[in-house]
Structure 1
Amino acid sequence: MNWHLTEVDGDETKRGDGGPLDALIEFYRAFNAADLAGLRAVWLGGAEPSMDNPIGGIRRGWEQIAEGYSKLFEGQAKVQVAFHDFTSQGADDWHLFVGRERGACRTPKEALDVAFRTTRWFVRKDGSWRQLHHHGSVEDPKMLADYRRLIFG
């Protein structure tokens, strides 16, 4: 896809075509705003979606995924990330974004630069693009340990 974006943090102007890039932009807008209702609107509901990352572990179904976001959003740490260095491929009913996230995790007393490898898989259901799966990983074990400490105390 030729979208000319090198980074997505949710502040971008959506194309307005209801396509997968608009769904990706909306995901990052909602995540960075700690907007659980916005995330609900972009994730597939029910038992189908899944998430696997070193903070939340494996979560299956929207309810488990939402529980993980709620814990993050209600904690003292505020996380802001941007998706970059990504590829994009898809067909009529699926779309895959593979790249990296960079950003910051801040508490009232500390700040930490964060970096993740990230995959986001969207499917088209009932005419709308919804996130079906997210996988995240971390290259730097010290950053992961510091991030977990800031998130979980």
Structure 2
Amino acid sequence: MKERFEEITGAEQKTGDGGPLDALIEFYRAFNAADMAGLEGVWFPGEAPSMDNPIGGIRRGWNEIAGGYVKLFGGAATVNVTFHDFTSQGGQEWHLFVGRERGKCRTANESLDVAFRTTRWFVRMDGAWRQLHHHGSVEDPEMLADYQKLIFGSSK
């Protein structure tokens, strides 16, 4: 019987079956560790993947997505999130996780609680699960404005 996770931080022990949940856990491990090689290993390569969120806008292809992560990880803010309140559904070649992220955005002088609605779509490629698409959105416009100030250093 598979272990059921109420939340994913990336620190969980993987199920070991090479399934989509292991890929999701690896994504959060890599993101929260600012591990670019780990993120590249989880994302679908080439021009096919896409990302759409309030910080990076629409990015298409791994190179654009990676550029957004490099900018985020190289800035003054550190972001750590936990995926929770999620559903998980899929087939043999695709898997969709839909839920919420909560966490902290910190700089040397400030800390902000963050919350996002999040969708992560994985597909099977050469026997491994790779993230093909991510969509994130924010319900609280004031939190988004404060988050953008911490990430970008001023209003966007």
Task: Give the residue type in structure 1 aligned to 2:37.
Answer: A
Describe the shift of the 1:3–1:98 C-alpha distance in structure 2 as closer, same or farther (beyond 3 A).
Answer: farther
Instruction: Give the C-alpha shift of residue 2 in structure 1.
Output: 6.0
Q: CA deviation at 1:119?
A: 0.1
Matched, 1:139 2:123: no
Q: Matches of 1:34 and 1:151 in 2, distance apart? A: 14
Percent identity for Structure 1 against Structure 2: 75
Q: SS state of the match for residue 55, structure 1?
A: coil
2:120 aligns to what? 120
Q: CA RMSD in A?
A: 1.0
Unaligned 5+ runs, structure 2 = none
**Aligned position for 1:79:** 79
Q: Which runs of 5+ in 1 are unaligned?
A: none
Aligned-partner Cα distance in 2 for 1:142–1:127: 42
Distance 1:62 1:3 in 2: 31
Residues 54-110 of structure 1: CA deviation (Å, up to 9, x unaligned): 100000000000000000000010000000000000000000000000000000000
Query: How far off its partner does 1:4 sit?
Result: 1.4
The whole-number CA distance in structure 1 between the counterparts of 2:138 and 2:2 is 28
Q: How many residues align?
A: 153
Q: C-alpha distance in 2, partners of 1:11/1:109?
A: 27
Matched residue SS, 2:14: coil
Q: Which residue in the other structure is 1:23 paired with?
A: 23
**CA–CA distance in structure 1, aligned partners of residues 96 and 55 of structure 2:** 22
SS at match of 1:44: coil
Report the counterpart of residue 151 of structure 1 in structure 2.
Answer: 151
CA contact (8 A) 2:2 2:15 kept: no
What residue number does 2:62 align with? Answer: 62
Cα distance between partner residues in 2 of 1:140 and 1:103: 14
Say whether residues 1:13 and 2:13 are aligned partners: yes
SS at structure 2 position matched to 1:10: coil
What amino acid is the match of 1:80?
N
2 CA distance for matches of 1:9 and 1:132?
Answer: 20
Letter in 2 for 1:75: G
